[in-house]
Amino acid sequence: MQYGLLVMGAPYSSPAPHSALRFAHAIITRGHQLAGVFFYHDGVHNASSLMAPPQDELNLREAWLELHQYHDVALDVCIAAALRRGLMSESEALRHGKQAFNIVSPFELTGLGQLLELQHRSDRFITFA
């Protein structure tokens, strides 16, 4: 089956990203495909390349990155939710006149249309918030 996940909890404030990652690996272990993960609300912070947790804590962004690298999972970040929380790609930083950026590939800034598209495309769609 094709699964899609919606993650709306922030890293290191909510257990939702950990629950979602654990579920993502369990899906794949059972032989399903994970079509994509959509980050919305405070979940957009999962995509920040500037997160620097202490070494004895899991770097959640890197955990998502591995999911992309080994299982080709699309990582989409809601652009409106990201921009208002100070998360942006290099091109958005240029557009908004900011000196730094913290969203890099394979995380993609995208519209909410992608969330609806993922929900339609997936046989199963699970929210972690």
Query: CB of residue 31 vs another protein: minimum separation in angstroms?
Result: 10
Nearest CB to another protein, comparing residues 16 and 73: 16
Nearest CB to another protein, comparing residues 86 and 111: 111
Instruction: Report whether 22 contacts 58 (CB < 8 A).
Output: no
Q: How far apart are CA 129 and CA 126, in angstroms?
A: 10
- Across the strands, what pairs with 74? 36
Which string of x and - marks every residue 67-106 that binds another protein (by CB under 8 A)?
-------------xx-------------------------
Helix (H) or strand (E) holding 26: helix 16-29
Q: How far apart are CA 8 and CA 39, in angstroms?
A: 6
Report residue 21 as tokens.
């990652």
Q: Which residues here bind another protein, judged by CB under 8 A?
A: 1, 3, 6, 8-9, 15-16, 19, 22-23, 26-27, 29-30, 32, 40-41, 80-81, 111-113, 115-116, 119-120, 123-129
